[in-house]
Chains A and B, each alone.
Chain A
Amino acid sequence: MRIFLTYALPLAALALLAIAPLYASAYQLGLLLGIATYVTLASAWALFSGHTRYISLATVAFYGTGAYTVAVLNESLPYPMVLATAGLIGAGLALVVGLSTLRLAGIYFVIFSFGLSELIRELITWYEVNVTGTLGRYIFLDLTPQDIYWQMLGLGAVTIALTAWIHRRRLGLALRVIGDDETVAAHSGIHLARVKLIAFVLASTIITLAGAIASPRWVYVEPSIVFNPTVSFLTVIMALLGGANRLWGPALGAVPLFLIFEWLSSDFPDTYPILLGLLFIGVVFLLPHGVLAGIEQLRQRRKA
């Protein structure tokens, strides 16, 4: 039973999701891609933030960087090289950001990560306007929506598998302990800075790759599109809804919330931000530890 739940069920689901585009309409494929993207983003976000409780609003800083890298390089390098470059840039950026900020605690880290996204967007805008003289770039890649979906699905699967693997390693234990008590973690022999940096760089690299993979869908790219802060907020709320410190929590939060956002933004385009805000408040208020923890609590209450 355990082996079935841990390996067979996820693999079967992955296989089903992989053949889904063969039977889906263009609109359905778009939804699947959106879901795959946000499952990847939320899971990657949780890889770092779920256990350490460092709430990062820098998701779009890396996501946008990945997309923009593709926009700049898509005509001068072969596609796999473009992806590899985006990953390297994401990892490099995460290393610099991580080294300078992971000492910040609590609210200061949240504000910094939000500021980082804005800063990168403004820097790129400034550079494009003043140096290259082009605001807005085109991505012409010979990729079908199916190709993009399969790549994103693969990245999402790798992210969840990586998270599962880390949870069982010393690194996973260290991350959990850091989230609970940094002093005791240090006195248990855990190198705080190194552990946080490894997880942050891993998560940020995945997020950057997600942006790079998703970018050909836009065709036209400019900083205000790819550095839209809503992406960061959505990612956080999805992970929190499902339960950020559980393997399947972020995915479980991402699927329903993405569908709700799609429906709200198409049927209520004017009131969408208000409804979004209400939903955020509702999630934090009603399910502070996520749906999975909520279900467990209900079960325990019934037993008692």
Chain B
Amino acid sequence: MLEIADLSVRYGKHTALDGINATVGAGEMVAILGANGAGKSSLLGAVGGRVKPASGTIRYKGADLLALPQHQLVEEGIALVPEGRGIFPAMSVEDNLSLGALPRRAQAGAAQRRDEVFALFPKLAQRRAQVAGTMSGGEQQMVAIGRALMSAPDLLLLDEPSLGLAPIVAQELFAALGRIRAGGLTVMIVEQNAAATLALADRAYLLEAGRIIGAGPAAQLRNDPAVAAAFLGGAPAA
């Protein structure tokens, strides 16, 4: 569904991404792992239209993604949950979700999808009238993911969804991501929490200093001592 070839991103003299090749197949959940500054967010930024690459191509459903303006991506089925939530704090949960259904492709069937989002996150159903800005960090992240799902995406981009969340809240979030993945949606997720992400994803790419230093099925990476040393704090994943 997504083919990234020879992608490089530079900020002035600094090279954030250096010749990245990666693919995401339909129905797959692909994780991008790496430390701070490895280039994870630049990679997702390039796919999300926020970052203009210096060179390389990104093809989505066979078409040139880089030729599309940012506001067109959602109409093509790409939904982004940006780092740091990305909700509308002054609006209610319900209004935040309605906003997700703003694109033309999402207008039909919006009510049904909202029920699906509420089924996925029962907490949101209980608090549909609450102003989103007054909710906890984990609940806000649910609103952000719910808003993205409302746009009827074919590809969901998640940028550090567990960032800043308490471990128990993050656990709840990963459980919900597991249910989203089980529903067959294609997902590309950038995370620092390697253990939880590898437990969930089909495949993963390991980024370091703007290059891919490893790739493979998540199950295999989980048991790779090198990966454990670099990303899992040395301890083998459970």
Contacts and interface: CB of A to CB of B under 8 A. Distances in A.
A190 to B, nearest CB: 6
A189 B100 CA distance: 9
B86 A183 contact: yes
B71 A186 contact: yes
A187 B49 CA distance: 9
B82 A183 contact: yes
B19 interface: no
Contacts of A187: 48, 70-71, 73-74, 79-80, 82, 86, 148
B179 interface: no
Contacts of B49: 186
Interface in A159-183: 170, 173, 176-177, 180-181, 183
Interface residues of A, number: 15
Q: For chain A, what secondary structure do more than half of its interface residues adopt (helix, strand, loop), or is it mixed? A: helix
Given A186-B70, A187-B79, A189-B74, A173 B102 contact: yes
A181 B140 CA distance: 14
Nearest to A170: B102
B82 A184 contact: yes
A5 to B, nearest CB: 22
Contacts of B86: 181, 183-184, 187
B73 A188 contact: no
Contacts of B75: 189
Contact of B71 (A180, A181, A191): A191
Interface string B66-95: 000111111100011010001111110000
Interface range, B side: 20 to 34
A192 B50 CA distance: 13
A231 to B, nearest CB: 30
B14 interface: no
B27 interface: no
B104 interface: yes
Contacts of B50: 183
Interface in B143-185: 147-148, 151
B137 interface: no
Contacts of A170: 102
Contacts of A189: 71-72, 74-75, 102-104, 151
Nearest to B99: A188
A83 to B, nearest CB: 36
Contacts of B103: 188-189
A295 to B, nearest CB: 17
Nearest to B73: A187
Contacts of A184: 80, 82, 86-88, 147
Nearest to A184: B86
Nearest to B50: A183
B71 A177 contact: no
Contact of A180 (B74, B82, B88): B88
Q: Which of B69, B82, B86, B104 has the most CB of A within 10 A?
A: B86
A181 B88 contact: yes
A223 B75 CA distance: 48
A188 B70 contact: no
B18 to A, nearest CB: 25
Contacts of B89: 180
B90 A188 contact: no
A181 B70 CA distance: 14
Nearest to A195: B71
B99 to A, nearest CB: 6
Contacts of A190: 71, 102
Q: Which of A184, A187, A189 has the most CB of B within 10 A?
A: A187
Interface in A182-212: 183-184, 186-192
A301 to B, nearest CB: 15
Given A173-B102, A177-B99, A187-B70, 19 more contacts: A180-B88, A181-B82, A181-B86, A181-B88, A184-B80, A184-B86, A186-B71, A187-B71, A187-B79, A187-B80, A188-B74, A188-B99, A188-B102, A189-B72, A189-B103, A189-B151, A191-B71, A192-B70, A192-B71
5 contacts: A180-B89, A180-B90, A186-B70, A187-B74, A188-B74
